[in-house]
């Protein structure tokens, strides 16, 4: 393991000394409590550790050839009892110092659950109200990133007008609307899993390196069949896909989702009236070309 283990100190191009010969990664977990308030999971570092008695993220050194996501999840599992199967990855950001970088994985949980320390490096684990995190004595790395990470606690939700997007590319969709919708659904599942690295102008989202969105595909008419329980279960490892069959008008369903969905909402459509309704509901809107370029 000597060649794989990343434990050790390294000096970055900025002249700072950091832990992790191959960089480091950490996990920022967040959830809404019973009052609807957002809380984040933080680690109180043991007094003897680097920057002891400060609050930071569960994380640590990456191993050689280990992805940032794998490292963050592994380190969190080694340091606390947070169950990995409850995490829904929403984004990632890199703090690059040159020759060394820290990657933060942003992960949503359905609710704040009890989390206990597993390692000597952890004095305590706590769910802290997101609006009060800045009042704590934070690890210097977290303190620098916190304003941006606070904004990242609003997940990105992309609401897709299936009929409009299908109609924007001449692939024979008119001969088999259900088949075309199924192809689009499968492409969107892959996009949710690999993430989105750039957003259209006007989307008020945190400045992450990659977003793993919740994609909501709204289908109507003959395409409604792709929303059956089996087909709608296409979910990526990070990010997610949900297929919604409109009961009547697809535009009405999309406008309702734009108004009622939590987080940063991006509606994909070229329909002018739907654009107006979505923007009135507080959502950003972009045309199908942006989405097709992502696929």
- CATH class belonging to 9-151: alpha beta
pLDDT, one tens digit per residue, over 176-191 is 888 999 999 999 999 9
CATH architecture assignment, domain 156-294: 3-Layer(aba) Sandwich (3.40)
For the chain, percent of residues with pLDDT exceeding 70: 95
pLDDT in tens, 25-41: 999 999 999 999 999 99
Q: What is the pLDDT of residues 249-266, one digit of tens each?
A: 999 999 999 999 999 999
pLDDT of residue 56: 96
**pLDDT tens digits, 78-134:** 999 999 889 999 999 999 999 999 999 999 999 999 999 999 999 999 999 999 999
- Buried b or exposed e, range 203-240, using 16+ CB within 10 angstroms: bebbebebbbbbbbbbbbeebbebbeeeebebebebbb
pLDDT recorded at residue 267: 98
Q: Which residues contact residue 149 at a Cβ distance below 8 angstroms, ignoring those fewer than 6 apart?
A: 28, 93, 104, 106, 142, 206
Computed over every residue of the chain, the mean pLDDT equals 91
- With 70 as the cut, is the pLDDT of residue 223 above it? yes
Is the separation of the CB atoms in 56 and 141 below 8 Å? yes
Confidence of residue 226 (pLDDT cuts 50, 70, 90): confident
The domains of the chain are located at 9-151, 156-294
- Give the pLDDT confidence score for residue 231 in this predicted structure: 42
What pLDDT score does 202 carry?
87
Beta strands in the chain (DSSP E): 9-11, 17-19, 24-32, 38-45, 55-56, 58-61, 88-96, 101-108, 122-129, 156-161, 210-211, 214-219, 240-245, 264-268, 284-286
pLDDT at site 4: 60
235, pLDDT greater than 60: no
């Amino acid at each position: 393991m000597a060649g794989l283990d990343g434990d050790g100190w390294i000096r970055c191009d900025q002249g700072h000394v950091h832990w992790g010969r191959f960089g480091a990664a950490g996990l920022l977990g967040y959830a809404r409590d019973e009052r609807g308030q957002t809380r984040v999971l933080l680690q109180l570092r043991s007094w003897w550790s680097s920057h002891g008695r400060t609050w930071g993220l569960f994380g640590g050194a990456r191993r050689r050839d280990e992805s940032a996501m794998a490292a963050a999840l592994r380190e969190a599992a080694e340091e606390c009892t947070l169950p990995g199967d409850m995490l829904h990855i929403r984004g990632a950001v890199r703090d690059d110092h040159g020759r060394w970088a820290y990657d933060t994985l942003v992960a949503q949980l359905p609710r704040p659950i009890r989390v206990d320390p597993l390692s000597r490096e952890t004095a305590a684990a706590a769910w802290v109200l997101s609006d009060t995190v800045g009042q704590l004595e934070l690890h210097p790395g977290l303190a620098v990133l916190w304003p941006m990470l606070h904004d990242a606690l609003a997940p990105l939700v992309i609401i897709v007008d299936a009929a409009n997007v299908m109609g924007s590319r001449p692939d024979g969709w008119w001969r088999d609307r259900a088949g075309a919708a199924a192809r689009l659904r499968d492409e969107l599942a892959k996009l949710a899993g690999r993430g989105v690295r750039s957003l259209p102008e006007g989307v008020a989202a945190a400045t992450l390196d990659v977003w793993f969105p919740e994609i909501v595909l709204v289908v109507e008419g003959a395409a409604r069949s792709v929303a059956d329980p089996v087909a709608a279960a296409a979910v990526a490892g990070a990010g997610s896909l949900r297929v919604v069959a409109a009961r009547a008008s697809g535009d009405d369903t999309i406008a309702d989702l734009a108004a009622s969905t939590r987080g940063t909402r991006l509606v994909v459509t070229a329909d002018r009236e739907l654009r107006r309704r979505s923007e009135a509901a507080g959502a950003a809107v972009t045309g199908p070309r942006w989405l097709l370029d992502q696929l």
